[in-house]
Structure 1
Amino acid sequence: MNGVLIGTRPSTACRRGLLASQAGPYRTFFNSKWVRRIERLTAPSRRPPPPVIPEKEVPPAVDPSVTPVNPVLGSKRPGICAFKIGCMGLWDEWGQKHAVTVCKVHNSHVMRQKTIARNGYEALQVGTGWRTLGLHERRRIGCCIRAGVEPKHHIEEFRVSSDCMLPVGHEFSVRHFVPGQRVFVSGWSRGKGWQGVVTRWRFAGEGPIRCAATGGMRMPGSISRGMSSSKVDKYKKQPGHMGPDPRVTNCTVFRIESTRNLIFLKGAVPGSAGHPIKIFDGRGITWYRNTYIKAPTPTFIPKPGLEYPVTVQMPATSEDPFLYPERPRYDPRK
């Protein structure tokens, strides 16, 4: 039969020819149902390809009622809510590495206006993120319906001045801040459980030479007086539960990326990855350090049809940070 003897085992080439001559699909390694099942199971855990980030873009238009204003001494811009993503390192033009914290501004909208006539003070309620409708309270769902936005994961309130009041439904972007601007970041620190005085209050301990055998190098030492009072004073720094506590840190905006709404803050940010934080303009001496930066007031308002760069980084220093001056270790006059 076609050159193949009956009763003898056909060769590999003959078997391939017989299979090719017959019609219909055949189960091989590549089209096996088990291979397809494994591909379907491992598809969610595969790392997605890196996104394509353009160099320039045309930002969406804002409400026509929002117009730029000239800030005065009492002007106070609103802040934005973001989510902490993680930490990484970035380099500037000189090749110096900076430790930054990546935060994402996701669906940040104005939820409610508070005025002096109705509430006694001026503020804006800003919501960010997204949450399923079944996890919300009825009053919170009503606020989202009145604002015309989707249910929010987190809502915060920011005090503002009358000239920086924004309409309900306005969406914030990372262009609200300028690279190089110093900002305040508010959040809750991570809970660390029961800790001793060295970790909780940064005590120095009693020294490893004296108390190494008994483990007393991390003990607090004396916590009270002698027979005069015979009691421990209130608010004495002792071991106890550490965190979560409200914290406010001073950071610098190192870079912004408008395509993915990412803001890179130079410094540490309280909280774990995925926790919401508040970012707002610095106050006090930090406000005076930002006088040379022209932040958009009340917020970023793009010009129609004009392209803006997507990634903007703070300018590098004028002097080389790795160029140290040659200074003698001694005074040549002596």
Structure 2
Amino acid sequence: MKGLIGKKIGMTSIFEANGKQTACTIIEAGPNVVTQVKSLESDGYNAIQVSFGDKKEKHTTKAELNHFAKASTSPKRFVKEFRNPDVQKALGESITCEIFTEGETIDVVGTSKGKGFQGVVKRHGFSGVGEATHGQHDRSRAPGSVGGSSYPSRVFKGMRMAGQTGNERVKVKGLKILKIFPEKNYILVSGSVPGHNGSIVLIQK
């Protein structure tokens, strides 16, 4: 597996020669610094740990400072481990968006936008109780019945009800890399990526 920690910049669209418009997301993919290299002999599995985003020293613990000092790099905010890496890098080396190629498909993991406490219509797509007749003036967005009375005398687990919406880990698979800008470490991927602008995402293949 090869991957990077990146930051979602925003969305745009590109046009092909035939006039077709494709919506795409701009991701700042790196540069990431290799802060640890794990091997089968010492750790039981092969992996590389990469970090992204600078952090002030006063907000960093002594243990973290020593960890990053081994890689001869400044403290970083985000750290991620990728197992069985396809790209072999030494401690302290940088990984940029050039590990990917245009036309390649990738998976992007991010945290979806939090929408707070929502009802069943917005959260699950319910259509409401039904017609606005027979005195149902306040039931158009209600969930309806949630359980039986004498049997089963309880509400089953997993019942779709109102609650916290969004703010979840989401993986979008099979996004195509449309263009790469090595000088800015930008990659353009087709479609949308979970999270708000400026949020941290994981790009993996």
TM-score normalised to structure 1 length: 0.57
Partner residue, 2:21: 97
Cα–Cα, structure 1 residues 172 and 226, in superposed 2: closer, same or farther, change >3 Å? same
Matches of residues 223-238 of structure 1 in structure 2 within 5 Å? 223-238=146-161
Match of 1:217 among 120, 136, 140: 140
Matches of residues 1-334 of structure 1 in structure 2 within 5 Å? 77-161=1-85, 164-207=87-130, 209-210=132-133, 214-250=137-173, 251-281=175-205
Q: CA shift at 1:196, angstroms?
A: 0.8
- Does structure 1 conserve the Cα–Cα contact (< 8 Å) formed by 2:48 and 2:83? yes
Secondary structure at 2:122's aligned position in 1?
helix
List per-residue Cα deviations over 1:294-313 (Å, max 9, x = no partner).
xxxxxxxxxxxxxxxxxxxx
Cα–Cα, structure 1 residues 203 and 262, in superposed 2: closer, same or farther, change >3 Å? same
- Does structure 2 conserve the Cα–Cα contact (< 8 Å) formed by 1:108 and 1:127? yes
Give unmatched runs, 5+ long, in structure 1. 1-76, 282-334
Distance 1:184 1:217 in 2: 39
Structure number, greater radius of gyration: 1
Q: CA shift at 1:156, angstroms?
A: 0.9
List per-residue Cα deviations over 1:260-291 (Å, max 9, x = no partner).
1111111111111111110011xxxxxxxxxx
Q: CA shift at 1:97, angstroms?
A: 0.9
Distance 1:143 1:93 in 2: 50
List per-residue Cα deviations over 1:189-232 (Å, max 9, x = no partner).
12111001122122233345558952322222221123112111
Counterpart AA for 2:109: S
Distance 1:92 1:212 in 2: 55
Cα–Cα, structure 1 residues 170 and 212, in superposed 2: closer, same or farther, change >3 Å? farther
Distance 2:98 2:133 in 1: 57
Cα–Cα, structure 1 residues 97 and 222, in superposed 2: closer, same or farther, change >3 Å? same
Identity of aligned residues (%): 28
Secondary structure at 1:206's aligned position in 2?
coil
Counterpart AA for 2:186: L
Distance 2:183 2:26 in 1: 14
Distance 1:141 1:208 in 2: 63
List per-residue Cα deviations over 1:51-96 (Å, max 9, x = no partner).
xxxxxxxxxxxxxxxxxxxxxxxxxx32011001111111122211
Distance 1:211 1:134 in 2: 65
Secondary structure at 1:217's aligned position in 2?
coil
Distance 1:215 1:91 in 2: 47
Cα–Cα, structure 1 residues 217 and 157, in superposed 2: closer, same or farther, change >3 Å? same
Cα–Cα, structure 1 residues 160 and 213, in superposed 2: closer, same or farther, change >3 Å? same
Secondary structure at 1:89's aligned position in 2?
strand
Give unmatched runs, 5+ long, in structure 2. none
Secondary structure at 2:68's aligned position in 1?
helix
Counterpart AA for 2:158: Y
- Does structure 1 conserve the Cα–Cα contact (< 8 Å) formed by 2:24 and 2:188? yes
Higher RCO (CA < 8 A, seq sep 6+): 2
Counterpart AA for 1:126: V
Secondary structure at 2:70's aligned position in 1?
helix
- Does structure 2 conserve the Cα–Cα contact (< 8 Å) formed by 1:211 and 1:217? no
Note the aligned Cα RMSD (angstroms): 1.9
- Does structure 2 conserve the Cα–Cα contact (< 8 Å) formed by 1:84 and 1:273? yes
TM-score normalised to structure 2 length: 0.91
